[in-house]
């Protein structure tokens, strides 16, 4: 792996960014799977936290008034994944160092660098809210002028799930919403990938401020954007598979991706 770009922190600690290749993605996934198998019993328990949160949010979204946002909320949960996976980065770090790495250490990173991790998580939350806002604007722009929508507004009715799904897949407006929604979602996913691929593992790994970690992450993405877009596709595909059915598969997928992302970070940033 060739090394590119250096950026000093103060005057003494340069951070370099490596060029990586597709082989590094495969190696990171293999190392992540090895970590998962090593600590599988503990990780499965913790891994169910995220599916339960997803189910709760999905149940709330199925309220008639929030039907149009049901899919954006579920899909947007992946934007918060890097923050949720902080505990897995910590366990991978400890295992790499030969330290005890059971579930009791899942939150150790917050004890060391909790403020920085919280700030970075807040940034992802802002992106998540922005995504939901864009999703709602797209919905009102495509469905908001329709006869059924206007009748519902004028009569104080709500858009039911059955009617919404029917119109989504059987009308031109629906397919327009699907196309524009997926394009917008892809843009937000790429933004979060660039913001977080190095930021969160680095905040777990060392004492560093959020702007510096974020800057390194953006540089890493710029230097490896083709390979990291491939990583984003792999992450998205695994999250979709893990979400079927009812998010249960995320109990395996989330720890695996958390571990693998840590090992990808160690290939991008020399330590």
Long-range contacts of the stretch 225-232 (C-beta < 8 A, 24+): 227/20, 227/21, 227/22, 227/24, 227/25, 228/193, 228/194, 228/197, 229/190, 229/193, 230/22, 230/25, 231/25, 231/193, 231/197, 231/264, 232/189, 232/190, 232/193
Per-residue model confidence as pLDDT tens digits over 97-116: 988 877 788 889 999 999 99
Give me the mean pLDDT over the 250-268 stretch. 92
Residues 232-244: tens digit of each pLDDT: 999 999 988 887 7
| Structure confidence at residue 196 (pLDDT) | 96
Q: Across residues 65-69, what is the average pLDDT? A: 73
pLDDT band at 7 (very low <50, low <70, confident <90, very high): very low
The total of structural domains in the chain comes to: 1
Find the domain containing 117 and state its range. 3-268
pLDDT (mean) for 68-86: 86
At which residue do the structure tokens 């992946």 appear? 78
Q: What is the residue whose two structure tokens read 């499965």?
A: 44
pLDDT at 214 over 70: yes
What is the arithmetic mean of pLDDT over 8-37?
84
The tens digit of pLDDT for each residue in 181-205 reads 999 999 999 999 999 999 999 999 9
Rounded mean pLDDT, 207-223: 96
Q: Is the pLDDT of residue 50 over 90?
A: no
């Amino acid at each position: 792996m060739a090394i590119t770009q250096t950026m000093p922190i103060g005057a003494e600690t340069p951070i370099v960014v490596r060029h990586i290749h597709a082989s590094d993605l495969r190696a990171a996934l293999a190392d992540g799977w090895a970590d998962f198998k090593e600590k599988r019993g503990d990780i499965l328990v913790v891994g169910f936290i995220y599916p339960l949160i997803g189910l709760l949010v999905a149940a709330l979204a199925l309220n008639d008034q929030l039907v149009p946002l049901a899919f954006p909320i579920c899909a947007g949960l992946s934007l918060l994944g890097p923050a949720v996976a902080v505990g897995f980065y910590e366990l991978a770090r400890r295992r790499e160092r030969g330290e005890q790495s059971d579930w009791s250490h899942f939150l150790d990173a917050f004890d060391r660098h909790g403020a920085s991790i919280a700030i970075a998580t807040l940034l992802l939350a802002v992106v998540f809210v922005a995504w939901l806002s864009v999703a709602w604007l797209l919905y009102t722009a495509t469905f908001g002028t329709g006869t059924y929508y206007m009748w519902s507004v004028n009569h104080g009715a709500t858009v039911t799930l059955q009617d919404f799904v029917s119109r989504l897949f059987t009308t031109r407006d629906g397919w327009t919403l699907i196309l524009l929604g997926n394009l917008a979602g892809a843009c937000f996913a790429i933004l979060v990938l660039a913001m977080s691929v190095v930021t969160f593992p680095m905040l777990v790994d060392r004492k560093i401020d959020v702007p510096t970690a974020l800057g390194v992450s953006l540089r890493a993405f710029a230097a490896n954007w083709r390979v990291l877009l491939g990583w984003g596709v792999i992450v998205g595909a695994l999250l979709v598979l893990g979400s079927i059915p009812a998010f249960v598969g995320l109990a395996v997928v989330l720890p695996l991706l958390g571990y693998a992302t840590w090992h990808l970070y160690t290939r991008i940033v020399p330590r």
